[in-house]
Chain A
Amino acid sequence: MKRLILVLLALAAMPAAAALKVFATVPEWGALAQEIGGDQVQVFTATTALQDPHRIEARPSLIARARSADLLIATGADLEVGWLPAIQRESGNSRIQSGQGGYFEAARYVAMQDIPARLDRADGDVHAAGNPHIQTDPRNILKVGAALAQRMKELDPAQAAAYDSRWRAFSERWRASLARWEKAAAPLRGVAVVTQHKAWVYLFDWLGMREVATLEAKPGLESTLAHLSQVREQAAVSRPRMVIRAAYNSARPAEWLSAEAKLPIVVLPFTVGGTPQAKDLTSLFDDTLARLLAVK
């Protein structure tokens, strides 16, 4: 018994490994932390691009990983409200509790859109803080990245210079990519589209595209046939050019509308890993634009 207690105490007192341990709720923030941190960080991403980030379960494996994290990066704006609080509470890790330095919420650093004028669940799964899918606008990556680099420097001052130089190099490359993307995406300006979920408002704001309808009757609720028929009728008037869904969305509603309204389906990666081409943040936007321009 005594020996067991000693072993347990030794385990509890084990020094944290040298690398900053990052727990990212979604792939885009994992990729961003990796860009800034390089070899100095050890990134664990809790979800994949093929999973609906609203509906993740607080699996034991996630709790175990959160236990030893130095930095928890979440989107915030209630995106992870159904699972992340349970993981934080069960983790027994004081560093990553809300309000602590090891808890980083990306949505706090960008201008939110779709902030509901009234909060009523009759409107579906609305988010009081606004639409949480902020990563679809690459300009937001810059804002979040600047704040994240700052936070990583604070948490790991020994590596501050490394984080700084990596972030500077990344943001320069990112700005160059932004100019390239904006030039390439010029033909998308004003293009009308139908989407499955309101997951792209930031992308459309950036590219000047127009979302004329969504396949979900209310945010987060499954599409109904009655609503889909309504969208089909609307499509006859507003003439969208394509129907867009994220890699993790069920294919059926988009396929139905595509067949009914003779619209091409565009499956966008939505985040890193959503398509084979979207390997990192840069290729995520390369692939997103390529897929949009291919049917435009």
Chain B
Amino acid sequence: MNRPSISMLAACGVLASFSAAAADAELQALREEVAQMRKSYEQRIHALEQRLADTARQAESAAGQAQAAQAASRPPAVANAFNPEVSLILSGMYNNTSQDPRQDPTGAAGRERRIQGLLPAGGELNPEARAWNLGESELAISANIDPHFRGTFLATISPANEIGVEEAHIQTLGLGNGLGIKAGRFFSSIGYANEQHPHAWDFSDAALPYQAFFGPQLSYDGVQLKWLAPTDLFVELGAEFGRARSFPASESNKNGLMSGSVFAHVGGDVGVAHSWRAGASLFASKPRERTYEDVDSSNTSVTNSFSGTSNTTVLDFLWKWSPEGNARDAGFKFQSEWFRRREAGELTYDTTAASLGTATDSFRSAQTGFYAQGIWQFMPRWRAGYRYDQLSAATLAIGLVDNATLAAADLPILQSFKPKRHTAMLDFSPSEFSRVRFQVARDQTRPGLADNQVWLHYIMSLGAHGAHKF
């Protein structure tokens, strides 16, 4: 019993070990299969979970987007939702000049700094003083009034704390057929630079011909009519009437048209990288008792005046290049304008009879001026530029001098001279809204004196992002 049982046991043991070995192999296979199945299922489940999660997320984001879209399309009703576009220009500068910008070096009263050789235009001949100067602060407010009109108001606050209304006009939106009407106070569209606000200038001061002929910008209280031709070439014709507010017109209080201008501009592209604009304009006005101060040969301050007609012709040309037409990183801009002014009428000497006594006789003058400037943006944010401007010596026929009533020295500002100036600048614009400019100029607008000027100028704008003209 014992033996067989032992042998049985042994056999069983062998069997068992056999079967155990067989079962082991099978188990192993099963395990592997299960593992494989698990792996594959896990992968599939993972994939399914992923898809589920993705779908859920998409649904969620779609719902969120739908909500956001709804929220975006229905802004909360607020009373100030119709607030107009408001922007403010801040500017300031440091000036270093070799001549006193305020006074003639003789120190005589009335002989403030002004351009020699022509009837003074008034207006500011920057810089105002040495060292620190505040520029004009410009506050602009504009908005569509209704579907038919747009309104623009631009006030300047001068460093002397005077508030001036620089522009206040309405403009039609809905006339169609290329027509546009502007009424109120506006900068004339003659020339190219006349319409630009000082903050958009490429140099810190206006070009000499603008200072001499328009002192330094022609502005109207009146109406402007413009028509754009329905052609692919830009052709714009326009006319302006009203009371011109600045030199060479005079403050007038007469019914009718005392000043008017006509202008034509054409422009287009050459390829994708070049664009240009050219124009011709004429400004005519009938100044009445347009006065200016001078110091006569007896060193007495006198007030003289001109009445007659004044016509100014302006030709302007602008050419811009940028690689691929992408003006952000690099570009070049050439700008030039030519001016010719003719005046005919009567010149009255010493209107207040402060010196030799009042006298009137004929007066004729013709004078040309031009400037040319190039601005090169050589890398993002940095630009360099150079400008040359000059005025011709005026051709004058002064009756009072010709008939020997006065000596030429009694009208010193009219003594023949050819003013000219060289200006170079480098500016840096950290963003579209800020610019810092370094400018040097050699100003030869007074006989025998060269004024070397250095400007360090900042121009910043805050508020609404205005759209600039070309």
Question: Interface of A with B (CB < 8 Å)?
Answer: 8, 11-14, 47-48, 50-52, 54-61, 63-65, 67-68, 78, 81-86, 89-95, 97-100, 108, 110-112, 115, 121, 124-125, 129-130, 205, 220-222, 248, 250
Contact = CB atoms under 8 A, between A and B. Distances in A.
B327 A95 contact: no
Interface residues of B, number: 58
Interface string B71-93: 01100000000000000000000
Interface in B269-325: 269, 272, 275-277, 320, 324-325
Given A8-B227, A64-B268, A220-B431, A82 B467 contact: yes
A31 to B, nearest CB: 17
Contacts of A95: 176
Interface centre among B267, B277, B381 (most CB of A within 10 A): B267
A19 to B, nearest CB: 15
A112 B268 contact: no
B165 interface: no
7 contacts: A50-B324, A50-B326, A55-B326, A55-B328, A61-B267, A89-B180, A121-B431
A205 B61 CA distance: 10
Contacts of A83: 467-468
A92 B380 contact: no
B328 A59 contact: no
B200 to A, nearest CB: 12
A222 B377 CA distance: 14
Interface in B408-462: 430-433, 462
A227 B231 CA distance: 48
Given A51-B324, A81-B465, A92-B226, A111 B65 contact: yes
Interface of B: 61, 65-66, 68-69, 72-73, 144, 147, 150, 171, 173-180, 226-236, 265-269, 272, 275-277, 320, 324-329, 380-381, 430-433, 462, 465, 467-470
A52 B468 contact: no
A124 B433 CA distance: 10
B465 A89 contact: no
B429 to A, nearest CB: 10
B465 A59 contact: no
Given A51-B324, A63-B228, A99-B147, 6 more contacts: A60-B268, A86-B468, A92-B177, A92-B179, A97-B147, A121-B462
Contacts of B176: 92-95
Nearest to A80: B467
A82 B61 CA distance: 32
A85 to B, nearest CB: 4
Nearest to A68: B230
A59 B320 CA distance: 10
A61 B233 CA distance: 6
A142 to B, nearest CB: 13
Contacts of B226: 92
A64 B235 contact: yes
Contacts of A129: 72
Contacts of B233: 64
Given A60-B267, A93-B178, A11 B229 contact: yes
A69 to B, nearest CB: 11
Nearest to B278: A60
Contacts of A56: 327
Interface centre among A85, A99, A205 (most CB of B within 10 A): A85
A97 B470 CA distance: 19
A48 B173 contact: no
Interface centre among A8, A81, A84, A89 (most CB of B within 10 A): A89
